[in-house]
């Protein structure tokens, strides 16, 4: 919600909407914007509220407090104003619940804000349709409401009455224990429902694991339960619904997992995410993911920043090693051996895939030598001698090696 809509709406909203929707939106906005911009937005809202006869003095004071909270962003201490406001007798649980669906539609709501609202009496039924739609669209922060209810130990009937058993098992680890019974985790669902389950679970796992060091809300033995449960479902082959996921669903889940990976900031979870990608790529229908899509995924992985949290391209290369590539696809992959992707691409292409290095398989594809020449590649760019011979010939490789050794001696 930008600055202009905040000001324009000030004279139209009821007290409850002004307090709740605008305040949480301001806090969410502050998480992504500079503190100065958030403070200006809050000041503008306060000025507009003063000018609007339908907004009470209490609402004006509340908006002022929210501008403070917005400017201070999302730390616990920065939301003391919100907590103070929600403790005032003028703000009732009934007023909060009038705006429940509006709150659910705000992206990027900080966890402390959601938790404060839940503790103040917010109750709303979260449905399978809402969770699945937002998860598949990679809607930022919808899972914060699930976690706020779980962290507050709210009764499941008060917010999750409409959730199917398997989603309760994944979302409510604190209530059901770190390890959920197998029959709750993966009943015999349709492929569509199974894909939705994974999409929601990936969001929950990404947020929960990201916040392990900040007291959010998976603590003690249950803090890694969402990720553990996903891995269990992927590796327990007795679950037919998982094995029957179609190629389109697997591709969609891989793309979703890649997008969510950017929210992860600890080594253990990053490694777990790589395991997820590997297991998704080993599902039966993964071999049917179109070659062009796999090439795209490899490009996306290798274009990400190099570092300890990075994703590995290995699962996609294993699938590509079994396929015939077009000349254009060969050139797209070889081009990764140049520029900022050269180092991670050389490391990835130099590993074994089905008994042969991927680089050797790539170099043996029709049109590979011509593509290498068009790109201006040299043997020094290729992380495998056998592949270099296939691309450039014995004499060129030997000559380049001699020149390289002579240059080293001069240095």
> Which pLDDT score is estimated for 224?
55
> Which pLDDT score is estimated for 287?
95
Helix (H, G, I), strand (E, B) or coil at 11: coil
In angstroms, the Cα distances linking 274 to 175, 223, 230, 243 are 28, 19, 13, 19
> Which pLDDT score is estimated for 25?
55
Phi-psi region of 323 (alpha: psi -120 to 50; beta: other; left: phi over 0): beta
Which secondary-structure segment (H or E) carries 57? Answer: helix 57-71
- pLDDT less than 70: residues of the chain: 1-91, 171-187, 208-226, 236-239, 354, 395-411
Among 54, 42, 47, 45, residue whose Cα is nearest residue 11:
54
In angstroms, the Cα distances linking 210 to 95, 113, 213, 352 are 32, 17, 8, 32
> Which pLDDT score is estimated for 10?
31
> Which pLDDT score is estimated for 24?
58
């Amino acid at each position: 919600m930008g600055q202009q809509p905040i000001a324009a709406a000030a004279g139209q909203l009821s007290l409850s909407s002004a307090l709740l929707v605008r305040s949480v939106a301001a806090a969410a906005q502050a998480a992504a914007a500079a503190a100065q911009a958030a403070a200006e937005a809050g000041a503008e809202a306060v000025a507009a509220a003063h000018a609007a006869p339908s907004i009470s003095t209490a609402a004006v004071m509340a908006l002022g407090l929210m501008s403070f909270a917005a400017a201070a962003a999302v730390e616990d201490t920065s939301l003391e104003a919100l907590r103070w406001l929600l403790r005032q007798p003028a703000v009732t649980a009934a007023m909060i619940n009038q705006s429940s669906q509006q709150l659910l539609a705000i992206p990027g709501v900080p966890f402390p804000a959601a938790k404060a609202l839940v503790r103040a009496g917010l109750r709303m039924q979260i449905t399978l349709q809402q969770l699945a739609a937002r998860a598949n669209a990679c809607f930022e922060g919808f899972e914060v409401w699930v976690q706020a209810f779980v962290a507050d130990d709210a009764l499941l009937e008060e917010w999750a009455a409409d959730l199917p058993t398997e989603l309760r098992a994944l979302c409510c680890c604190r209530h059901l224990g770190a390890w959920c019974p197998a029959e709750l985790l993966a009943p015999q669902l349709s492929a569509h429902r199974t894909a939705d389950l994974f999409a929601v679970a990936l969001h929950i796992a990404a947020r929960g694991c990201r916040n392990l060091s900040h007291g959010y809300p998976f603590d003690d033995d249950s803090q890694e339960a969402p990720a553990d449960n996903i891995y269990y479902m992927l590796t327990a082959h007795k679950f037919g619904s998982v094995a029957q996921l179609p190629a389109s669903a697997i591709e969609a889940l891989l793309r979703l997992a890649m997008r969510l990976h950017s929210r992860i900031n600890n080594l253990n979870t990053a490694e777990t995410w790589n395991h997820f990608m590997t297991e998704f790529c080993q599902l039966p229908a993964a071999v049917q993911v179109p070659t062009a899509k796999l090439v795209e995924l490899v490009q996306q992985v290798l274009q990400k920043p190099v570092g300890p949290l990075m994703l590995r391209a290995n699962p996609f290369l294993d699938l590509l090693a079994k396929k015939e590539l077009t000349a254009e696809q060969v050139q797209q992959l070889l081009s990764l051996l140049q520029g900022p992707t050269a180092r991670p691409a050389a490391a990835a292409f130099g590993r074994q895939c089905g008994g042969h290095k991927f680089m050797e398989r790539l170099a043996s594809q029709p049109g590979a030598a011509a593509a290498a020449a068009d790109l201006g590649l040299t043997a020094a760019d290729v992380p495998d001698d056998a592949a270099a011979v296939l691309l450039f010939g014995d004499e060129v490789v030997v000559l380049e090696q001699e020149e390289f050794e002579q240059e080293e001696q001069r240095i």
